[in-house]
Amino acid sequence: MTTLGQLGERNVIARLVDRLGTRSNVVCGPGDDAAVVRITENAGVDLVLTSDAVLENRHFSSGTDPCAIGQKAVARALSDLAAMGSNPQWALIDIVAPATIDIETIENVYEGATGVAAEHGMVIVGGDTTEGSPFGMHVFAAGTVPPNAAIYRSGAKHGHALFVTGTLGGSSLGHHLAFTPRVREGVWLRDWASSMIDLSDGLATDLRHLAEKSDVGFEIVQQRIPISECVQNANDSLAGFMHALKDGEDYELLFTVPGARASAFKSAWEEAFDLGCSQIGVATAKAGYIEIESPVGEVRLLDNQGYEHFTSNQ
């Protein structure tokens, strides 16, 4: 008998995914930020489907503003839709709550949820409320994308430039509750990105997801990583960098652009958005290797565990 805790989330998912079948109307099953399915040949769009859970004492502490809980739950799903380059459309919300919770709290959760949904063009069309504990919610969201226009984790190729939106690190200081999912940017990137993922697990881990699905490596430049102000430390540049690598819940977009278009892309981005976008590295042919160039020009290898520590390959 092996418990879920012993296996770890990654292996649990791998074993479960093996049991799922597929069908001709499934364009992309499990293993990306969302699933992509084909409704009919004439529909003019593919459908992008994702679900996300937000549970008390895991994704938020018990004193958290209910409105922020609703916002976070919906924004996480929106971030998944954004990472596929899809336009958010409809969502269902399942709430599990103890009978002793007051209705105003739940109304505030909904206020937050519907507010952030509406800001990004999505409408909540239903769901379910069940008595239970601890308090939590599951958001199911559907978006649309032109046929074959979804952006997958698997499209990066050797030589493609690697970009990230916004700044990274410090999510635990509050950003994890109040972030803006990069929906407009994700849709716009359909014209540019060869691969894309949203940063939920942290740059180190999500970079590895992109590398594995695309069968490439990445070389990133430490000094180019955009560090959030709240974790910058003038005396210790490594500390801020480690936050950017490990914190998770940044909900920025990490994506590649074919090398020949990288320069045109940068100009187009600056024209389109105020939000920062940094080229932090390049895809390499060394499949699975994530190499990091330090400020003094030393190249180190990010180890296979994802983000625990550096291992020198010199």
Residues 40-69 that bind its own copies (CB under 8 A): 40, 42-45, 47, 49-53, 55, 58
- Inter-residue contact 176 to 72 (CB < 8 Å): yes
Residues 74-93 that bind its own copies (CB under 8 A): 89-90, 92
The site that binds its own copies (CB under 8 A) totals a number of residues, namely 72
Rule CB under 8 A: say whether 258 interacts with its own copies.
no
Tokens matching residue 242 = 């480690």
Residues in the chain: 314
Q: Please give the full DSSP string across 163-220, using - where no structure is assigned.
A: EEES-BS-GGGTTTTS----HHHHHHGGGT-SEEEE-SS-HHHHHHHHHHHHT-EEEE
Among 64, 65, 94, 237, binds its own copies (CB under 8 A): 94
CA 49 – CA 273 distance, rounded (Å): 27
Report if residue 149 touches its own copies, rule: CB under 8 A.
no
Nearest to 124 by CA among 135, 140, 136: 140
Instruction: Specify the stretch interacting with its own copies by CB under 8 A; choose among 123-131, 156-164, 197-205, 292-300.
Output: 123-131
Under a CB-based contact definition with an 8 Å cutoff, are residues 66 and 101 in contact? no
Amino acid sitting at position 17: V
For 278-289, b/e burial (b = at least 16 CB within 10 A) is bbbbbbbeeeeb
Q: Does 148 bind its own copies (CB under 8 A)?
A: no
Residue whose pair of structure tokens reads 């430490």 in the numeric block: 222
Q: Which of 3, 62, 235, 314 binds its own copies (CB under 8 A)?
A: 3
Beta carbon of residue 99, minimum distance to its own copies (angstroms, whole number)? 3
Q: Which of 134, 174, 288, 295 binds its own copies (CB under 8 A)?
A: 134
Structure tokens belonging to residue 265: 């892309």
Beta bridge partners of 35: 49
Task: Determine, following the binding rule CB under 8 A, whether residue 110 of this chain makes contact with its own copies.
Answer: yes
**At closest approach, how far in Å is the CB of 131 from its own copies?**
7
* Least distance in angstroms from the C-beta of 12 to its own copies: 6
- Least separation in angstroms between CB 147 and its own copies: 11
- Minimum CB separation of residue 69 from its own copies in Å reads 14
- Cβ proximity to its own copies, 146 vs 174, nearer residue: 146
Residue 43 or 285 with smaller CB distance to its own copies? 43
Among 68, 81, 86, 114, binds its own copies (CB under 8 A): 114
User: Residue 89 burial by CB count (10 A; 0-12/13-18/19+): exposed, middle or buried?
Assistant: middle
Can you name the residues that pair with 300 across neighbouring β-strands?
Answer: 292
Please report whether residue 147 would count as binding its own copies according to CB under 8 A: no
Distance CA 105, CA 69 (A): 10
The interface region with its own copies, picked from 125-133, 204-212, 220-228, 252-260 by CB under 8 A, is 125-133
The rounded distance, in Å, linking the Cα atoms of 155 and 167 is: 24
Q: Out of 61, 99, 235, 314, which residue is the one contacting its own copies (CB under 8 A)?
A: 99
| 136 binds its own copies, rule: CB under 8 A | yes
* Footprint of its own copies on 16-45 (CB under 8 A): 16, 19-23, 25-26, 29-30, 34-35, 37, 39-40, 42-45
Site for its own copies in 273-312 (CB under 8 A): none
CB nearer its own copies, residue 107 or residue 298:
107
| CB-CB neighbours of 32 under 10 Å | 22
